[in-house]
Structure 1
Amino acid sequence: MTQEPTVLPMFPLGSVLFPGMALPLHVFEPRYRTLVDDCLAGEPEFGVVLIERGSEVGGGDLRRDVGTVARIVEAVRFDDGRWGLGCVGVRRVRVDHWLPDDPYPRAEIADWEDEQVGPAATDLLVEVTARLRQVLAATAELGLPAAPATLELADDPVLASYQASALAPFGPADHHDLLAEPGPEARLAHLRHLLVEETEYLERRLAMASEDLGPPDDDDRPRPEPGDDPPDDDT
């Protein structure tokens, strides 16, 4: 007997949601207000996928086919019909088939579990944690937004690989590629490669900033104007 496909409401976004990570949402577009109404009337879950090309508002977007199921854990409805949601990613999914928007996006999906943890995952996690802290500290030193460099990751390599991927200061395309890795070992190896490249880039930027802010030359130091009293010797 053929099993009926799982159909899930979908919320394409310009960012990537990883399993185990929080997702705050401000829902104002009418079709997505309807999505929230339908979710809260039944199973409070919807899928989140990255928009490859297009906009979050208005439709006509091109969507990726790997995403994460978000579960609504908090919902506040405003007087004008907008929703404020607190959600959390619960599991990874593949989109098998996109259905027509009615009125919001829907898709036939299948759960996509991570591969088993490989023997190299533990050592990779230790290295990735150290490199991620280094990147976050350097990013903050440059005055750019970053998570605290004192972060602690989960002991479970699968969840930790998702946490590290989410906290790494990369763009949506890199985040999506990390989400789409088959398992934690491949994800951590990919993340290590990205962090090595990012470290080299940040070190160059810090070196340039240090040169720009180097000690002033003698000619640049302030000199007393004629008639100024010289400083006291005992102060």
Structure 2
Amino acid sequence: MSELAMFPLGSVLLPYMPLPLRVFEERYLQMLAQILQVEPSEFGVVLIERGQEVGGGEKRMSLGTIAQIVQLEPSEVGVLMIAQGARRIRITEWLDDDPFPRAEIEELPELVWVDELAGLRQTAEKAVRRVLARASEWEEQTWSAQVELSDDPMEATWQLAGVAPLGPLDQLVLLSATSTEELLTELIRLCTEFEETLWLPE
């Protein structure tokens, strides 16, 4: 177990997915100054269960992801940052928030790709692209149905989970998967359930 600076957010970060952030609160500017002293510069991201991102006092989930900083750019208000999801973590103990949120964490085992899952992954990709296309008929989506994926099958599997137009609690289900097969199976199920809601009468 180790100590890690934490950034609670109103969204879930999945491995191999980008995370753009505008850092302006003093506590997170202090956090940024500290973690940039070490390479790779990392912090943890967890979903806020109740409360707001700004000001503190929120209730936080215990499952999250390590984010690695890949780009920084000063702005008129704070710092524009792009990070990328890396390894999954579980919070074992929250520490004092002074001067910024910190926690004792343990890393979860990384999921492993096996070639026998190629067919299941193809089914999942079709489901995700189909539901992205149909959801875009109702409202603009963050990701296009033609989004490009990594050539690495494990990375691409996580990216499929990340671009699927699902809510944060559904994404937490995917983040908690204990095997690649479970991740793909749950992704197909959640996309199918979401797609069915698109055709329900208002």
The partner residue of 1:54 within 51, 62, 72 is 51
Structure 1 CA distance for aligned equivalents of residues 107 and 38 of structure 2: 19
Structure 1 gaps of 5+ residues are: 209-235
SS where residue 60 of structure 2 aligns? strand
Cα deviation per residue 1:203-230 (whole Å; 9 max; x = unaligned)? 346xx8xxxxxxxxxxxxxxxxxxxxxx
Structure 1 CA distance for aligned equivalents of residues 150 and 76 of structure 2: 39
RMSD: 1.9
Q: What is the CA distance between 1:200 and its match in structure 2?
A: 1.8
Pair 1:136-2:136 in alignment: no
Residues 77 and 83, structure 1, Cα contact 8 Å, conserved in 2:
yes
Q: What is the CA distance between 1:118 and its match in structure 2?
A: 5.4
| TM-score normalised according to structure 1 size | 0.79
SS where residue 103 of structure 2 aligns? strand
Aligned-pair identity in percent equals: 42
* CA shift in 2, pair 1:61/1:120, >3 Å: farther
Residue identity opposite 1:124 in structure 2: L
Structure 2 CA distance for aligned equivalents of residues 49 and 7 of structure 1: 15
Aligned residues: 201
What does residue 175 of structure 1 align with? 171
What does residue 162 of structure 2 align with? 166
Cα deviation per residue 1:59-97 (whole Å; 9 max; x = unaligned)? 1111111111111111123466x1111111121111121
Which has the higher Rg, Structure 1 or Structure 2? 1
What does residue 13 of structure 1 align with? 9
The partner residue of 1:68 within 65, 70, 73 is 65
Structure 1 CA distance for aligned equivalents of residues 130 and 190 of structure 2: 13
Residue identity opposite 1:19 in structure 2: P
Pair 1:85-2:100 in alignment: no
| TM-score normalised according to structure 2 size | 0.90
Residue identity opposite 1:128 in structure 2: A
1:1-235, aligned counterparts within 5 Å? 5-43=1-39, 44-78=41-75, 82-117=78-113, 121-204=117-200
Residue identity opposite 1:46 in structure 2: F
Query: 179-188 or 6-15: which moved more?
Result: 179-188
* CA shift in 2, pair 1:83/1:152, >3 Å: closer
Structure 2 gaps of 5+ residues are: none
Tell me which protein shows more strand as a share of its residues: 2
Residue identity opposite 1:54 in structure 2: G
- Structure number with the bigger relative contact order (C-alpha 8 A, sep ≥ 6) is 2
